Chain A
Amino acid sequence: MDAAFYLQMTITAVVLSLLYILMASGFNLVFGIIGIVNFAHGTFYMLGATFVYWFMKSYGWSYFFAGIASVALAYGIGWLCERYLMRGVRGDILGSIIITLGLLMIFQSAAQIIWGEWDKAVPSPVTGVINIGGAFLPWETVLPMVGALVVMMLLYWFLMYTKLGLSLRAVTNNREAAALMGININFSYSLGFAIGCTLAAAAGVLIAPLWSISSTMGSTPLWKTFIVVILGGMGSLPGAVVAGILLGVVDSFVTTLFSSAAAHIFGFGIIITILVFRPRGLMGQI
């Protein structure tokens, strides 16, 4: 096994890690602020990719504009869902599971009916392949990597350096105190959920040209999100980053060196072990 082999594995690992980090951050944001499990998270990922396809195919927009529009639309849908559907299930994990499950079913079947059940694709704005010492790095793989980093930095900046971000962090920390300080809790909840969905949709938009688009593409990312979130700690964003990197590396290396079934079982085994010995996860707060 030479350097090219390991390099290729590392490239794959990086793409996977960034995808997982984006998804897990969105999920953790929602869990941290509202205290619910969003089963429709993978579906927003799918919607992000599907909207990009729709805007690019039906209206001929460029990938960049289609991507922004797609993310904005996902934001809007997330906001509306939280505002009108999810008030009653705040903090109620079981109820939130059922309602987000219902949303999953609605969005998935709607996507299948409206855009068809076959696999679709969007062309990437960049083409060509770089050869790094024997390992292949297509430019269209670089784009999602860069895009994901940009999104993560934007998120970081938003949460750390803006007033809105501060209010969200306050609500996560202590809801009553935040309310006493004059923060509009309802608004924060809707904002948090919408941003969570937007992050999932952003992941979908970035991955769309790399892989293909179908109405069921959200189920595997949802599983992986659960794994990352448990590993890193429910509700912890730094945990999501660390665990995302870890899972990306494990997935890539174990699949390449052994097989994908082994990677699955390995992943599950890790989770069960972690949950038994350190349920908080690597950096969890509860």
Chain B
Amino acid sequence: MKLKRLKLTMPVLYIFVAAIILLALPYITGVNSYWLRIFVIIGINTVMALTLRLILLTGLMNLAHPTFMAIGAYFSIFAMTRFQLPFLVGLIGGGLVAGICALILSYPFLRVKGVYFFLITLTFLEMFRIAISNYWRDWFNGADGIYGLMAPTIGGFQFTSLAPFYYLCLVVLLITFAICWRIEKSWSGSVLLSIRDADMLSRCVGINIMSWKAYVFVIGCSLAGVAGGILAFLVGGVNPNNFGFPYAVDIQVFVIVGGMGTIWGPILGALLFGGLGDFLRGLGGYALLVNGSVLVLIILFLPAGLIDFPSRIRQLIRRPAVDAREK
């Protein structure tokens, strides 16, 4: 009886402690500290990774995810600087515009799947980057990018330190997580997985795979757009190269190396690689070597992702004797 009560309260305790840490983090690290900045960036990356994985549930690997982030970023910048709209309006507007673009593009893109979708989004990513680097200079300022952005304000409260960015990012992250969790755990999640695993079959059952794919694609890309808006103002500017192939690959790495199977995988991936990135920053030319080796080693030993680590260890430990009392 006592054991059962403990089991119920343990997860709640974890959540409680985690919530306290998350809420108090800015004050633990210092409101303007470098570490807080890293956490905000990890938060943004987590949003990107979670949304990428959402789309991946249907079997589509969207390499153009940074493009939608860029759309949201540039839109929120234009909203603040050219149209004098409030920051929050620009941010949400950026998400909506990214979503609308995703909707329009879903017509040509979602007709293909698998490797072809991967390649078509890869191509689109590069095309978009080259297009905004070279054309419409008076809007996008080309490859120089737009810098010198002012600190945003929400309802009269100005973002004078990193803490407001952190809380904003936390809110967006929680919303994203909630959306992804809800979709995945509900019947919708099963539909998406069925599209991934046996799309012809699900079509026969009456599921309109195009609209389901478009559904997650649009949601995922809109949230990416919102993340883009936050990133733009956090860094103080944007540049088309921030949304290019290297970043697209980074998000993919978070998802795949973290573990595609569960919702915690991308979170773990973004967290670990954010930390790794900072650690590698001082290594100069060797950073790439270490980065590559880490990727190879992880895929070699943990093909299901880092999230698999505990169960693998358990397997290794329990192999000699069979424990009848294991969970």
Contacts and interface: CB of A to CB of B under 8 A. Distances in A.
A and B touch in the complex (CB under 8 A): yes
7 contacts: A37-B115, A85-B296, A97-B252, A98-B299, A102-B299, A275-B120, A276-B111
B30 interface: no
B115 A109 contact: no
Interface stretch (A13-21, A87-95, A178-186): A87-95
Given A88-B300, A109-B286, A101 B111 contact: no
B118 A106 contact: no
B257 interface: yes
B156 interface: no
A106 B130 contact: no
Contact of B134 (A98, A105, A223, A261): A261
Interface stretch (B168-176, B222-230, B287-295, B313-321): B287-295
Interface stretch (A1-9, A58-66, A70-78, A264-272): A264-272
A154 to B, nearest CB: 28
Given A97-B252, A268-B126, 14 more contacts: A88-B300, A89-B303, A94-B260, A103-B292, A103-B296, A106-B289, A109-B285, A234-B116, A268-B124, A268-B127, A271-B119, A272-B108, A272-B123, A272-B124
A93 B114 contact: yes
A102 B293 contact: yes
A193 interface: no
Interface residues of A, number: 39
A188 interface: no
Interface string A209-248: 0000000000000010011001000100000000000000
A108 interface: yes
B36 to A, nearest CB: 29
Contacts of A105: 288-289, 291-292, 295
B256 interface: yes
Interface residues of B, number: 39
Contact of A108 (B256, B288, B300): B288
B115 A106 contact: no
Contact of B130 (A92, A93, A264): A264
Contact of B285 (A107, A113, A227): A113
Contacts of A285: none
Interface in A114-170: 117
A94 B57 CA distance: 13
Contacts of A98: 252-253, 256-257, 295, 299
A106 B296 contact: yes
B299 A89 contact: yes
Contact of A113 (B114, B289, B299): B289
B40 interface: no
A173 interface: no
A271 B294 contact: no
A127 B120 CA distance: 42
Interface string B18-37: 00000000000000000000
Contacts of A257: none
A285 to B, nearest CB: 12
B119 A226 contact: yes
A269 B292 contact: no
A99 B120 contact: no
Which of B252, B295, B299: most chain A CB closer than 10 A? B299
